[in-house]
Structure 1
Amino acid sequence: MSQQREEYFGKELFQKLRTGFWPLGNRIRQLSLYVGLTLLIIAAAGPKIGTEVREVKRQGVDLLVALDLSASMNAEDVKPSRLEKAKYEIDRLIEKLEGDRVGLIVFTGEAYLQSPMTLDYSALRMFLNIAETNQMPSSSTDFSAAMETAAEAFSDGEESESENQASKVLLIISDGENHGDSYDASLQALREENVSIYTLGLGTEAGTNIPLYDESGSLIGYKRNSEGQVITTQLQTDVLQDIANEGNGEYYEIRSGSSGIDAFLGRLDELQQGEFASQEYADYKNQYQWLTGIGLAFLLLGMIFPYYKSS
């Protein structure tokens, strides 16, 4: 480089051109620019160092969803099937909830608490996705079993949230066919615990047959009674309306091409809210702000720092 410079400039001319040049100032200027750009690049990556304590409060209602998994829920008068439509609408319900504790009961002739009441909606979705009619030992429907399981779940929830004043809601999703004993005593027990019972009916009054599938998912026929006749399943609105009326709730209906879950959501917003979680948690604290500020300061220094001195 020095040889090429000497070919075009004499030593004296070069010294005249560099009159007042300050090498140290030039190095400080370049170093400031490099440091500033480096800090801005690091800041853009969003570094998080240390911890930041945050307080989270959640308010809502205690909601239990009881999903009918009897064989009749495989009927396809509501597309793609009553069960799949129910699971889709429950997923929509979960998506729109904010701060409500939700649990899932699955029932036929027996009932199980598939998911205890939780604020972890992703876990609830996981339990919902694996709910199928073939997981239950019985293919009939007994509403009293679902109500008894709900009463136990609400009781367990009260022990962990003794100061919680939230409304307690049971949403039963079914086609309304009841093959069990009378549910009056179970319903009365829920009413005494101030549980409001809402029902959501799936199906059509015209009804349809109940398909049977093998393990690969292929249709192998339709469900028959003991006399060999193909069974027709229909939406039993009277049963579901009676449960809702006696349970201080409301009855909604899902038919093909329509949804009743939105009306239920609107009703939830009107109920008394309770505080389920008031907790503090530690999180990594964002540190990009001060890196950005220092980086901009170095860039400004690099642009204005003098590298020539007045003679």
Structure 2
Amino acid sequence: MALLGPAYGVTQQPVRTAGKDVWLLVDLSRSMDATDVIPSRLQKAKLELSQLINRFQADRIGLLVFAADAFVQCPLTYDQSALRLFISTLQTNLVPVGSTDLVPPLELILARMEATSRPAGSVARATAVVVISDGEDFGENIEPTLRLLARSGVRLFTVGVGTLEGARIPRLSGGGFVRDNKGREAVTRLMPTTLRRLAQQTGGQYFELTDQRNEFPQLVNALNRLEGQAEQVRTVAVADNRYRLPLLLALALLALDIIFTVRVIRP
């Protein structure tokens, strides 16, 4: 019976992990509907993100979306099924139309880091931010926010989605393509220079997702190298193994068998 490992009840046990927090920031500006990356920049990014989260079982992952404003779609979580569901629902019409601004989502992350309490003397979890965008426009005065991120130990990784040749932007309804102020069809292009600079300022790296190149595997490797920079103790429920009782009973019976011998007298 002891070998069967009988269990009764549940105990809470601390488990020390070397996980990290990963924030996914997805650009939902209208240019992400461009089809220079098939089926579109956003749809291709969603597919890669759904596969990426499978590689980080021990880490918390959160999802923010941004364009003219920023919103937390999914807070930091270990629940990959929920996160995958939120990723699948991303569309460019979820955020207000306007100039793309990267400052609000970065400030949201900083605010959540400050609001997170941890025991005195403990080490902060390693935090990484992954920005998925074509890099066309990130607003102004982003430098102070980047300096705050760097001082907080946050690594900013950027993924440029699109091509240098660019593509037209489909309208969300009515057919046709988006036009500029002069009535010409607007063409959106990948702007790697800005994305590369953002990553370099925080010790991160720049990667690309184009029609010819997919550097998401390199992104996964870069994020994995952050593993072990900080430890966290998680409490998990474990079934209480009660093998000791039948084992002690078996040992007692064995001892009695050795001590008390039975002599059989045959006629």
TM-score by length of 2: 0.80
Partner of 1:51: 9
- 1:164 and 1:194 map into 2 onto residues whose CA distance is 12
Is 1:169 paired with 2:107? no
**Pairwise CA distance, 1:179:** 5.1
**Pairwise CA distance, 1:262:** 1.0
RMSD: 2.5
| Cα pair 2:134 2:190 within 8 Å, conserved | yes
Partner of 1:309: none
TM-score by length of 1: 0.69
* Residue identity matched to 1:74: D
Paired residue total? 236
| Cα pair 2:7 2:239 within 8 Å, conserved | no
**Pairwise CA distance, 1:127:** 1.7
**Pairwise CA distance, 1:145:** 2.0
Partner of 1:210: 169
* Residue identity matched to 1:244: A
* Residue identity matched to 2:156: I
Is 1:280 paired with 2:239? no
**Aligned 1:28-67 pairs, distance under 5 A:** 50-53=8-11, 55=13, 56-67=15-26
- 1:161 and 1:176 map into 2 onto residues whose CA distance is 38
Is 1:197 paired with 2:152? no
**Pairwise CA distance, 1:234:** 0.1
Q: What is the aligned counterpart of 1:83 among 27, 42, 47? A: 42
Q: Which moved more, 1:257-266 or 1:222-231?
A: 257-266
Q: Which has the higher helix share?
A: 1
- 1:92 and 1:77 map into 2 onto residues whose CA distance is 21
- 1:154 and 1:80 map into 2 onto residues whose CA distance is 35
Q: What is the aligned counterpart of 1:221 among 152, 156, 176? A: 176
| Cα pair 2:34 2:169 within 8 Å, conserved | yes
| Cα pair 2:18 2:227 within 8 Å, conserved | no
Unpaired stretches in structure 2, ≥5 consecutive residues: 1-5, 247-267
Alpha carbons of 1:276 and 1:88: their partners in 2 closer, same or farther (altered >3 Å)?
A: farther
1:244-297 CA-to-partner distances (Å, cap 9, x unmatched) read 111211100111253211111111222242334421315598xxxx9xxxxxxx
Partner of 2:251: none
Unpaired stretches in structure 1, ≥5 consecutive residues: 1-47, 291-311
**Aligned 1:1-311 pairs, distance under 5 A:** 50-53=8-11, 55=13, 56-157=15-116, 159=117, 163-178=122-137, 180-214=139-173, 220-273=175-228, 274-282=230-238
Alpha carbons of 1:280 and 1:188: their partners in 2 closer, same or farther (altered >3 Å)?
A: same
Identity across the alignment (%): 31
SS of residue in 2 equivalent to 1:220: coil
